[in-house]
Structure 1
Amino acid sequence: MLQRLINDVKDATGNALRLTSLAAAAAIALFITIAFLCAAAFIYVLQHYGPVEACLAGAALFLVVTLIAASVYIVRKREMRRRAEKAAKAAAANVFADPVVVATGLQIVRAIGAKRLIPILAVGGLALGLMASRSAASSSEADEEEE
């Protein structure tokens, strides 16, 4: 049984390696194809309009491609940030809805006592608020630096 599991892992690893190398070969071929297409377009513009216009046309083409890639990157980054925020809110809401967490909290209150627990919770809430404000400030500074 263990040998079968090892053989399955070997087969899966081998297949993944083959697919990865095939994807790398396809990416290299695509890169070379694009390079030749750019060279052909450059030579065509060079023969019809001259060297300055050919260089400007190539620069304009790559500028458009760069702007498209940058806009896609920014949109995806914002979408990922929104998803992360939604997941964090959902996780926080799910923690307090869990009956095990509620039962554990009640046992802690019974063991320590409500009079002793109130100051501890107040200090903990204050610390949590300070940490949250620090993380919000540092994340907003990081967002400003990235943009």
Structure 2
Amino acid sequence: MVTGRRSRTSRLDVHRPYLQRRIDETEGKISIKELREELADRGWPVPYSSLRDWARSRLQWPDAPAPAAAAPSVRTVVGWITRHPDKLTEDEVQQCKAVLAACPDLDQAHQLIRDFAQMLTSRTGTRLPDWIDAARAGFKLLRKMILLQ
């Protein structure tokens, strides 16, 4: 039978009552940096990252905000952009819109991809020269922006 994993002890465990009391007194409005400074003032210097990692797993923070959703990977975004819109779930459509709203250049590339796909499926190759001109103009601007950075 597998039992629950016991958490390892830490040299910070002796400070847990004090740190929890400070969090409770400030209603969670004290930062890890401030807690670290208080410990240092008491003669217990500790690296910020050590205290942060320890505090996340062992202290209770009131009304802790929900962790932010991870940004989608490049592969995921490329999949959203290159798949037929009918093949995307509603959640994927919303996430794709959010990414495109945050990056106008990517939104422009997305539109060019959609236009090209429409030309292929509707077999309207006569529009290809206009599409090439639009793509060149769009990517000239993008290249200039990249070179300026």
Rg: which structure is higher? Answer: 1
Question: Greater relative contact order (Cα 8 A, min sep 6): structure 1 or 2?
Answer: 2
Of Structure 1 and Structure 2, the greater helix share is in 1
